[in-house]
Amino acid sequence: MQFSPNPNSQISPNPQPYRVVVAVGGGIAAYKVCEVVSTLFKSGVEVKVILTNSAQKFVTPLTFSTLSRNSAYTDENFWQSSQPRPLHIELGEWADIILIAPLTANTLGKLVHGIADNLLTNTILASRCPVLLAPAMNTDMWEQASVQRNWELLLTDTRYHSTGISSGLLACDRVGQGRMTEPSEIVTHIQSLFHTKGDRALTGKRILISAGGTREFLDPVRFIGNPSTGKMGLALAQAAQHRGGNVTLVHAPINSNIPHNIKSIHCTTAEEMRQAMIEELWNQDVIIMSAAVADVKPRNYSKEKLAKKELPETLPLAPVPDILAALASRKQTHQQLIGFAAQTGDIITPAMEKLQRKNLDAIVANPIDQPDSGFGYDYNQAVILDKQGNRFDIPHCSKLQMAHQIFDFVLKSGAL
């Protein structure tokens, strides 16, 4: 998912490139940061890299300067007096966002106590921009009471944002918590911070999102479905989580990995999705039905694969449950229910009819017959309509940008 607008987009590119300082700590996960730097550069972001002395034992400054097309700074540069202004001041004022990856227990402890004894920690204290933390360390180190205490205390400072920490096989052969979040998730979180500037207006809010295309099977290998890949629903889940929301994603089969810090519930059919959405509905604040739910299913299902000669020439069909109607009939007055309407041609008239017929608070109408938009693409465009008669147009942009604009609309409406 790229941040920079598509060249054919109606959105004007940011007049000045976004600027990110990537501060690399001393851990084996430092090699993954190479992908972060490369991806950011390719998307038009200007990147400068700081390496601690320990980080240089894993990846060289030359590697990062090559990937970023910029200087990579070390403590050796920090103590030189050739700069017209102190380096940490220059870097701190220059950055729109600072990423610390991997964040080690050592650097974590310094940040909590305001200790500045190297270029990385001095730059943090000399800056005011959001700081994204991607911790990585041995499981026993991470679970130490002192480390957990430092971690919880640091996150009380609203400047700091967390990618969370993953579980799996570590470099020490331990299986458990301690893995750094994958580069793609880190980059997506940075993209969100470009939009929000660190605002977490959804903190304490519970967001329920559906995603993907449901499948209605004729036999174990054949089904009625649609081209949805779930990218829009996943973008909505990531945007909400990055804004502080407590997110539950109910999804049909999708083609993307779901971030580890988002609760996910897998389903396949419309009936399975209906049951999951109703079970999760009761304590949610915002419900967004972005899934492409089937309208019909085969009336008869065969538990055994049908031979080609056994396939019916005409396929009897039966309706599937109307999930939006079921949610609308159960939602409480404080809850916001938002639907999606994927349309060709005139997208407004059928969306307005669906908004009123299903008693929604708002609907997102998006065209699926426009270039580089809709099913399967990384980009989208839409018109948001609400029951008060408001209209908000979202020009062609990445699905993550569109997700943030949808939440901007919800927040500005005063519903939360």
User: What are the boundaries of each domain within the chain?
Assistant: 19-196, 206-412
Which range (7-11, 133-137, 264-268) has the least confidence?
7-11
Mean per-residue pLDDT for 317-336?
95
Indicate the helix (H) or strand (E) that contains 343: strand 336-343
With b meaning 16 or more CB within 10 Å and e meaning fewer, what string describes 321-337?
Answer: bebbebbbeebeeebbb
In this predicted structure, the answer to whether residue 63 has a pLDDT above a threshold of 60 is: yes
Share of the chain above pLDDT 70, in %: 95
Mean per-residue pLDDT for 160-184?
87
- Omega cis (within 30) before 102: yes
CA–CA separation, 66 vs 54, rounded Å?
20
Kindly give the residue spans of alpha helices, DSSP state H, lying in 127-222.
139-143, 145-154, 183-196
Query: Is 49 within 8 Å of 40 (Cβ atoms)?
Result: no
Give the per-residue pLDDT at 7: 36
> Residue 7 corresponds to which amino acid?
P
Q: Which residue has the tokens 């804004």?
A: 243
Give the per-residue pLDDT at 80: 76
Query: Is 375 within 8 Å of 229 (Cβ atoms)?
Result: yes
Which range (86-95, 155-164, 251-260, 350-359) has the least confidence?
251-260
Q: Which fold has domain 206-412?
A: Rossmann fold (3.40.50)
Q: Is 206-412 the same fold as 19-196? A: yes
Q: Could you give the angle at which helices 105-112 and 145-154 cross, rounded to 10 degrees?
A: 50
Mean per-residue pLDDT for 342-357?
94
**CATH architecture of the domain with range 19-196:** 3-Layer(aba) Sandwich (3.40)
- Omega cis (within 30) before 17: no
Mean per-residue pLDDT for 384-390?
94
In eight-state DSSP terms, residue 341 is E
Indicate the helix (H) or strand (E) that contains 29: none
Q: Where does the pLDDT of residue 415 fall: very low under 50, low under 70, confident under 90, or very high at 90 and above?
A: low
Q: Where does the pLDDT of residue 85 fall: very low under 50, low under 70, confident under 90, or very high at 90 and above?
A: confident
CA–CA separation, 378 vs 398, rounded Å?
6
In this predicted structure, the answer to whether residue 70 has a pLDDT above a threshold of 70 is: yes
Catalytic site positions: 172
